[in-house]
Amino acid sequence: MMLLCAAGILLTRTRLAVSKLVNYVHEQPELRHRVFADKLVGQGQRDGTMTDTQQENTLRRFRAGYQEYCF
């Protein structure tokens, strides 16, 4: 049996698109258990920004393989 493992990053233009994409993945039964979706957005003056610590924690989880899934 061969396992295919993948990790990736999706880039979007807006913070709203990030939230919608993450919500979509979480709502889809066929994706929910195969794809770990988490957001990473920059800092700014608007709602939905992340602190340095939040950004670092998201990147740390990605690098550690928490967002890597095998199919």
Q: Look at 70 and 59; give whichever has higher pLDDT.
A: 59
Say if residue 8's pLDDT is above 80: no
For 61, the 3-state DSSP assignment is helix
69 band by pLDDT with thresholds 50, 70 and 90: low
What tokens were used for 33? 């258990």
Query: pTM to 2 decimals?
Result: 0.67
* Pure H helices in 13-51: 15-27, 29-32
Residues 6+ apart with CB under 8 A from 25: 31, 32, 35, 37
Domain residue limits, the chain:
7-70
